[in-house]
């Protein structure tokens, strides 16, 4: 069959700041479908008004997180009007399949990991009249006779990640369908593990990938990286595992193997500060292998807030301080993620978080408003306090529930001030204007893009300070 896979518009902040990243989940599903003999095309939609070219598609598959969901429904509505069979997957429909199916535009929801489920589903659709959707584990669908939503049994998570085909890497799926990018060759994402054993209450990773940590073999990862470099000319790779340093011995083995093979192309990784501090060797080996920046979910310096988030491990003020300093000592910048708006936070708590960000001075600071996504523990906790279910506003830049001590506009104003205050510090502007080495840091053009993007997103607050 001819299958069109669509990554819907991801929200204004991605467009305004210029973040352009291959939809890796769809690319894995596309590879599985191609291996099963189907024709596959992937299209990314990088602006709000865009629609894919449905020409020739028998089946349209759409992946959506919460902020993409309304855009995904728009794509599904147009696909359905053209007589296409529509499948939707991703975090939001996995956690809320009834909402997706009751729209009337979606035939099937593929829940959680989709590689095996979607292949079985498409092969069933190809079989025609003899197809019985009740036999496909991991899908939800509407029974035409009763009109009821049916949830088939969950499909077990994939144990052998080495058995998966490498994701599709054609240029259109890497760089986006409209070719927009602020760099000539955007970094290519790669994933080496799935699942996160930690229980952060705001995170929806476990909705798709579960809590059991599963890892590809080092040789399998190295083989994919070699293929990217040799066959696609890739120069920059970002490992987007949730915790690349969950198993520090595996991390060390991986980066040593990459250096042995002359494949020092990993520039960005994600991990936890406490695992980093536990084994400083990991910072050393990553630096030798060319890593320029590491994403750390710092969230807050306040241990009461960290406990409320259920960060687990040894997350703390001191751990974050040591982790950022350890990276700096090895020439690696930090991408520090901070969250504002835990339900019990006061404005003093938020100011402390912003000042902590300035104190540790990561190469990049990301300030987000705490956002409850369906399927998370946080959602269950604050659902009675929701002020909107307009999914377009679930971009972590808008306040969507009522905190205990803050006005929602005050919270949005705080995130605006956090960005402007951090990025317009004279010492930071001076450094980026007069130093040419911006590896792992936002250069002056990026700083202005970030600040302008936040102001465009929150225009009324920007006007009134």
**What is the per-residue pLDDT across 185-213, written as a single tens digit (0 to 9) for each?**
568 999 999 999 999 999 999 999 999 99
- The C-alpha atoms of residue 334 and residue 364 are separated, in whole angstroms, by 6
pLDDT band at 437 (very low <50, low <70, confident <90, very high): low
| pLDDT reported for residue 10 | 85
Contact 432, 443 (CB under 8 A): yes
pLDDT band at 184 (very low <50, low <70, confident <90, very high): very low
Question: Which tens digit of pLDDT belongs to each residue from 282-314?
Answer: 999 999 999 999 999 999 999 999 999 999 999
Enumerate the CATH 3.20.20.70 domain ranges in the chain, comma separated. 187-464
CA angle 329, 331, 336 (to 5 degrees): 85
pLDDT band at 462 (very low <50, low <70, confident <90, very high): very low
Contact 75, 8 (CB under 8 A): yes
| pLDDT reported for residue 130 | 84
| pLDDT reported for residue 172 | 54
Pick the CATH number of 2-151 from 3.40.50.280, 3.20.20.210, 3.20.20.70, 3.40.50.170: 3.40.50.280
- The C-alpha atoms of residue 317 and residue 307 are separated, in whole angstroms, by 12
Enumerate the CATH 3.40.50.280 domain ranges in the chain, comma separated. 2-151
Query: Which residue, 286, 243, 242, 252, is CA-closest to 267?
Result: 286
Is domain 187-464 annotated with CATH 3.40.605.10? Answer: no
pLDDT > 90? residue 316: yes
Dihedral (CA of 386, 388, 391, 392) sign: negative
Phi-psi region of 128 (alpha: psi -120 to 50; beta: other; left: phi over 0): left
Average pLDDT of the chain is 91
Query: Which residue, 446, 417, 451, 415, is CA-closest to 433?
Result: 446
Q: In what order do the strands lie in the sheet with 59-63?
A: 39-44, 2-7, 59-63, 85-89, 108-110, 139-142, 149-151
Which are the contacts of 89, defined by CB distance < 8 A and separation ≥ 6?
A: 25, 29, 61, 62, 63, 64, 109, 110, 111, 114, 118
């Amino acid at each position: 069959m001819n299958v069109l896979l669509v990554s819907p518009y991801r929200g204004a902040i991605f467009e305004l700041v210029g973040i352009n990243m291959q939809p890796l989940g769809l690319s894995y599903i596309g590879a599985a479908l191609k291996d099963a003999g189907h024709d596959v095309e992937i299209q990314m939609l990088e602006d709000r008004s865009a629609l894919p070219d449905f020409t020739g598609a028998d089946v349209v598959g759409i992946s959506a997180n919460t902020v993409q969901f309304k855009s995904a429904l728009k794509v599904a509505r147009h696909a359905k009007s053209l007589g296409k069979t529509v499948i939707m997957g991703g975090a939001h429909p996995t956690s809320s399949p009834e909402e997706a199916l009751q729209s009337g535009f979606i035939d099937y929801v593929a829940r959680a990991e989709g590689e095996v489920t979607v292949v079985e589903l498409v092969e069933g659709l190809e079989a025609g009249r003899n197809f019985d959707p009740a036999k496909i584990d991991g899908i939800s669908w509407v029974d035409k006779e009763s009109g009821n939503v049916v949830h088939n049994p969950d499909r077990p998570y994939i144990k052998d990640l080495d058995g998966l085909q490498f994701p599709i890497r054609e240029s259109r799926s890497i760089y986006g369908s409209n070719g927009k990018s602020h760099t000539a060759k955007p970094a290519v994402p790669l994933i080496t593990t799935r699942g996160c054993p930690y229980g952060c209450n705001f995170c929806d990773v476990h909705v798709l990938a579960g809590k059991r940590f599963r890892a590809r073999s080092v040789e399998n990862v190295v083989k994919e990286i070699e293929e990217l470099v040799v066959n696609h000319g890739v120069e920059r790779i970002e490992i987007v595992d949730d915790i690349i340093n969950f198993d520090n011995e595996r991390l060390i083995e991986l980066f040593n193997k990459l250096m042995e093979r002359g494949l020092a192309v990993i520039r960005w990784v994600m991990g936890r500060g406490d695992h980093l501090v536990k084994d400083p060797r990991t910072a050393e080996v990553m630096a030798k292998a060319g890593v320029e920046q590491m994403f750390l979910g710092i969230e807050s310096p306040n241990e009461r807030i960290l406990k409320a988030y259920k960060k687990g491990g040894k997350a703390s003020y001191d751990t974050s301080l040591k982790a950022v300093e350890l990276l700096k000592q090895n020439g690696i910048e930090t991408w520090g993620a901070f969250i504002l708006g835990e339900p019990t936070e006061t404005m003093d708590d938020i100011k402390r978080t912003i000042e902590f960000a300035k104190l540790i001075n990561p190469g990049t600071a990301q300030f987000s408003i705490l956002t409850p996504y369906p399927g998370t523990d946080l959602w269950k906790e604050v659902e009675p306090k929701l002020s909107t279910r307009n999914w377009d506003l679930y971009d972590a830049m808008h306040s969507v529930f009522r905190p205990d001590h803050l006005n929602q506009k005050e919270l949005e104003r705080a995130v605006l001030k956090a960005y402007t205050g951090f990025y317009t510090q004279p010492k930071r502007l001076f450094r980026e204007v007069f130093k040419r080495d911006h590896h792992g840091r936002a250069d002056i053009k990026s700083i202005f893009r970030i600040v302008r993007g936040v102001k465009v997103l929150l225009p009324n607050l920007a006007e009134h300070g």
